[in-house]
Amino acid sequence: MIFENGDRIVFAGDSVTDMGSAQPVGEGLFDNVGRSYVRVVENMLATWYPERMIRVTNSGISGNTSWDLLNRFDRDVADLAPDWVSICIGINDVWRQFDCPAMPDPHTTPEAYEANMRAMIEKVKGKVKGIFILTPYYIEPNPADAMRARMDEYCAICKKLAEEYDLIFVDFQGMYEAYCKIRHSSYIAWDRVHPNQVGATLMAKEFLKACEFEY
């Protein structure tokens, strides 16, 4: 398992990372870390690796786009002196193009998204042990669906950047696509975005698979 005793992991993202965490940074007692996959990751690390004290920090804020996360990245991520950084952003970059089509201001083109992701990566690259790039997703198995097709473009950007910068890539979209071959997306999320605890567990499992986690 790649995390060592004393490591700090900072999870940056939007609502699917946030899920009720303390703002702007959630960790520690009670429900400060929220109820997302971040909480499940923390639970599983503490359960299977009790000898390793690993600090888990949730820096997700609901509604964030890649622009929003970039604007607060220094305060909520880089300045926390993390050992590992996880970035999961892009759902709102795509979603606003569909639920607010007449309002171009909050829209983020693929080119702008890639530039924002690069800027965040370069803020911490070489200063941390590793960076995770987690894809945004839309829990829609039909690849011809307009929003799913658009989301796939942003997922491809994540994969491209992970390969270019030699980062750890976690494909949430691919994971959900495989799951939806067995169960309908409503089993995870009625809006096909915000997961219940089954979805949070699936995401945590997919994340830990990239961490050489041993059960």
Catalytic residue among 31, 79, 99, 191: 191
- Quote the pLDDT of residue 99: 80
How many other CB atoms are found less than 10 A from the CB of residue 42?
21
- Quote the pLDDT of residue 123: 98
Whether 194 is catalytic:
yes
Whether 184 is catalytic:
no
Non-local (6+) Cβ contacts of 13 within 8 A are 59, 60, 64, 69, 86, 87, 88, 89, 134
- Quote the pLDDT of residue 73: 98
Catalytic residue among 7, 14, 15, 76: 15
Whether 15 is catalytic:
yes
Catalytic residue among 68, 107, 145, 194: 194
User: What are the average pLDDT values for consecutive 10-residue runs of the chain, which has 215 residues?
Assistant: 97 97 91 96 97 97 96 97 98 90 80 97 97 97 94 98 98 97 94 96 97 92
- Quote the pLDDT of residue 98: 86
- Quote the pLDDT of residue 138: 96
Cα separation, 181 vs 185, whole angstroms: 9
Burial of 144 (0-12, 13-18, 19+ CB in 10 A): exposed
Domains and CATH numbers, the chain: 8-209 (3.40.50.1110)
